[in-house]
Amino acid sequence: MAASSKGIDVAHIAALARLEIPPEAAGKLSREMESIVGYVEMLSELDVSGIEPTAHAVPRSNVIREDAVRDSFPREAMLANAPATVDQELVKVPQVLAEEGMA
Amino acid sequence: MMELKKLTMTEASALLAAKKISSVELCRAYLDRIAAVEPKVSALLSLDTESVLAQAAESDARRAAGKTLGPWDGIPVTIKDNIAVKGQPCTCASKILKGFVSPYDATVISKLKAAGMVLTGRANMDEFAMGSSCENSAYQKTRNPWNTDCVPGGSSGGSAAAVAAGETVIALGSDTGGSIRQPASFCGIVGLKPTYGRVSRYGLVAFASSLDQIGPMSKSVTDSAVMLDLIAGQDERDTTSLPAPIPEGGFAAALKDFQPSLKGMKVGLPKEYFEVEGVTPGVKKVTADAIETLKSLGAEMVDISLPHTRYSMACYYIIAPAEASANLARFDGIRYGYRSPNANDILSTYQDSRGEGFGPEVIRRIMLGTYVLSSGYYDAYYVRAQKVRTLIRRDFTEAFEKCDVIFTPVTPATAFKFGEKSDPMQMYLSDVFTTALNLAGNCGISVPAGLDPDTHMPGGIQLIAPSLAEDRLFKAARAFEMTRSAKELVAPL
């Protein structure tokens, strides 16, 4: 499908972005996105053939350090912000796989 | 007694060194000022007064023992709520990070602590730094100290308002597309966006990683230079930080005993920036006066062209949301941050936590970013925008062959009123003068120039220099600051 500002599938994009969008908000969001995408389409006026893309404004190279053992963060400090834990030792999450699907 | 609204780092340092005031007295004065004006300004999301006074007492003890950590020991600094300070909240003005407490210090914070500075409140912002008015904060509206019917700008609006209202000596903000320079201009203070890579981003909550940069928001040009000296430098924790040492003695040293002359400096006026529609007569007047001031200082004005200016906003609004959509994927309701009470399996944990935790503008940007990166659109939008980014960078490279710094307005108008820009696109376009240099990686500074005769609100000018040439910005900005017709720009609040 060619790029077009029309008909952005909000439900599809929301699923890709792992965002729950209430149906009553989808219409407005779709209109706003189409307006912004309509604006950014002005870039298609430019001839960019032969132009290298810029991902970063500064030259980048690998930065390597010695593979040495260092102190890390204590577990309790990292778990302090978790929404739920098991005995302050593990991150507690809802069941990942559905019951009947479990081996 | 000192005037808190005007007190600079340099002046505070002299008072402390001469033992005319202690750090506890200084910090107490600011806490009193905060208590008096915060009900009107609402610049801070959180403030731990006990911690402030404890830090100040430690500073005084060091000084008494002859073990001061340097000239800035004991001076308060306010931090934007997206920069991590160990043990303090860091919400990015988002519900998704409500209650989050940073487990470590950002590199810039470690550096400020090493200098003995007192970390005060957490400044309000647009949620995840996405916005130009602070209206996107999930918690509160920050008001402009010049006129509380007006926004302070954004996204670093809390930092700007806190400095302008005299709630602090100096603040740190972050700038992805103008988020330091625009609120600085709206609130009549100085704001610096350093060269990309000049300052470590470790501990700055990422919005668009190839554009974000931490920088100072201050009452004087010299203070911005002082702060850059403190926070700049390569950091092993940020692979994009540059191995570029600051000049011998520091940026601020060059501004001591400074003679305001710009003889030999070529200031470029990009014609495309002066052709932008919708620039108000008041901003045009402030800008024209500033050009005369620069000429009177001996600067040579040169006409230049940045031909792809008109595409910079479009380029920015593809690249920044694309990077944001990837960066904000980490907020998943699992390890930290908000988890929806409706979360009952893996997908609903992600979708409901994110859908309920993020505000409308953040959702808009994640959606846009996801869209331009999605299959079938990636080349047409994202890769094309990256190529246009190359053209925008090239514009600056070519322009800097003809001039030393570039002069532009900061914003098309002075601070607008709450609710005035309800359409997202209209809001985005208020950053038309500030985004291009983030795309190019250059540095830029916003300097107060005077009051708009129509709105009676502060207007600023922007100076742009090539990568790592902050010294030119400071020189031109300092000379301008000393010579501008509006000598003192102090908010009436």
pLDDT in tens, B246-275: 999 999 999 999 999 999 999 999 999 999
Is residue B338 assigned to a domain?
A: no
Q: Do the chains contact at A55 and B210, CB–CB below 8 Å?
A: yes
What's the domain count of chain A?
1
Is residue B376 assigned to a domain?
A: no
Residue B322 confidence (pLDDT) above 90: yes
B44 is written with which tokens? 């801070």
Residue A1 confidence (pLDDT) above 70: no
Is residue A29 assigned to a domain?
A: yes
Q: Is B348 a catalytic residue?
A: no
Phi, psi of B154 (to 5 degrees): -165, 170
Is residue B358 assigned to a domain?
A: no
Q: How far apart are CA B320 and CA B363, in angstroms?
A: 13
Q: In chain A, what is the greatest distance between 2 CA atoms, to the nearest angstrom?
A: 59
Report how far apart, in Å, the C-alpha atoms of B146 and of each of B105, B107, B467 are: 33, 33, 33
Shortest Cα distance from A64 to chain B (angstroms)?
A: 9
Is residue A35 assigned to a domain?
A: yes
What's the domain count of chain B?
1
Q: Which chain B residue has the Cα nearest residue A49?
A: B387
Is residue A26 assigned to a domain?
A: yes
Is residue B332 assigned to a domain?
A: no
Is residue B493 assigned to a domain?
A: yes
Is residue B352 assigned to a domain?
A: no
**Interface TM-score (ipTM) > 0.95:** no
Give the mutation candidate from B370, B374, B438 for the A interface (greatest A CB count, under 10 A): B370
Is residue B345 assigned to a domain?
A: no
Arithmetic mean of pLDDT, B367-375: 97
Contacting A residues, span 8-37, partner chain B, CB-CB under 8 Å: 8, 10, 13-14, 16-22, 29, 32-33, 35-37
Q: How far apart are CA A64 and CA A71, in angstroms?
A: 18
Is residue B59 assigned to a domain?
A: yes
Q: Find chain B residues with C-beta within 8 A of A22's C-beta.
A: 355
Tens of pLDDT, residue by residue over A44-63, are 999 999 999 999 888 777 88
Q: Is B179 a catalytic residue?
A: yes
Is residue A99 assigned to a domain?
A: no
> Which of B176, B160, B287, B173 has its CA nearest to residue B219?
B160
Radius of gyration, alpha carbons of chain A: 23
Q: Do the chains contact at B346 and A81, CB–CB below 8 Å?
A: no
- Structural domain range at position A18: 10-45
Of B308, B317, B338, the CB nearest to A36: B317
Contact B76, B9 (CB under 8 A): no
The pTM is what?
0.96
- Structural domain range at position B46: 1-304+388-415+430-493
Residue A80 confidence (pLDDT) above 90: yes
pLDDT at A100: 61
Q: Is A48 on the interface with B (CB under 8 A)?
A: yes
CATH label of the domain that carries residue B238? 3.90.1300.10
Q: Find chain B residues with C-beta within 8 A of A84's C-beta.
A: 339
Is residue A76 assigned to a domain?
A: no
Q: Find chain A residues with C-beta within 8 A of B338's C-beta.
A: 83
Q: Is B80 a catalytic residue?
A: yes
Q: Which of B13, B22, B80, B475 is catalytic?
A: B80
pLDDT at A4: 44
- A-B CB pairs within 8 A amount to 179
Q: Is A73 on the interface with B (CB under 8 A)?
A: yes
